[in-house]
A = this chain, B = another copy of it.
């Protein structure tokens, strides 16, 4: 119940991975040239030579639109594509046999999903759209094709994966040794930074995920997340109106990341 309800409008309940044949929802094989994409500095093409970007262009990805709540892939699905988020937001999550869910990441425009599937040729997590979104589906076989050997593509992919490892490192740190306040502060600052990189306000934004999803990501219960939001609001660090967040005092929010357990009062 508790986890399944997160799958919102369209996604069916399920605990056993479905073996869907291939691309499920609205398949729209539009051409999506990386060279002219506004995300090219952030996404997979980042750091590639023009030549390699041309090579990417030649691969002719299909785009796909997903509505809020729709599933991009599930743990256990056969691995064909890695996905680059063009717009919108996704969560990726792991599910234990007893139904407990752990959100392992939130993904915004320019970020790449599905790298955990390379190891065993099956997706190792679920990816679900948190709002109406659009992705590029990049056939992994094309990236690994002998014809692109010698290009920087495989190295770029390797770097992306390493970055993913580093990203998970900080999540480990967070889950392993930080208090609720530290976790939420770190989460908000990280969001803020990524939104800024996309050209949005870093101080005021709309959360795409529920308290329960934030809680799952941070290893907390939704009530604790809610209380911690309220605490930050009372301390004057944030203004919180449901999913609308304004960071009033970024300095002290940063201080909260490595402080809250030690000094109870500051202000």
Q: Residues of A with Cβ closer than 8 Å to B?
A: 94, 96-98, 100-102, 104, 115-120, 124-125, 144, 146, 149-150, 154-155, 157-159, 161-166, 168-173, 175-177, 216-219, 258, 262
Contacts and interface: CB of A to CB of B under 8 A. Distances in A.
Nearest to A118: B162
B161 A168 contact: no
16 contacts: A96-B173, A96-B258, A101-B177, A102-B172, A116-B162, A118-B162, A119-B163, A120-B162, A150-B150, A154-B158, A165-B165, A168-B172, A171-B172, A172-B175, A175-B176, A177-B219
Contacts of A175: 172, 175-176, 219
Question: From DSSP, what is the main secondary structure of chain A's interface residues?
Answer: helix
Contacts of A219: 175-177
Total copies of the chain: 2
Given A96-B258, A119-B163, A175-B219, A104 B157 contact: no
A189 to B, nearest CB: 14
A125 B167 CA distance: 12
Contacts of A116: 162, 165-166, 169
Contact of A165 (B119, B157, B216): B119
Contacts of A104: 169, 172
A14 to B, nearest CB: 18
Given A173-B96, A173-B102, A177-B219, A115 B165 contact: yes
Contact of A258 (B97, B144, B154): B97
B258 A98 contact: yes
Contacts of A161: 118, 158, 161-162, 165
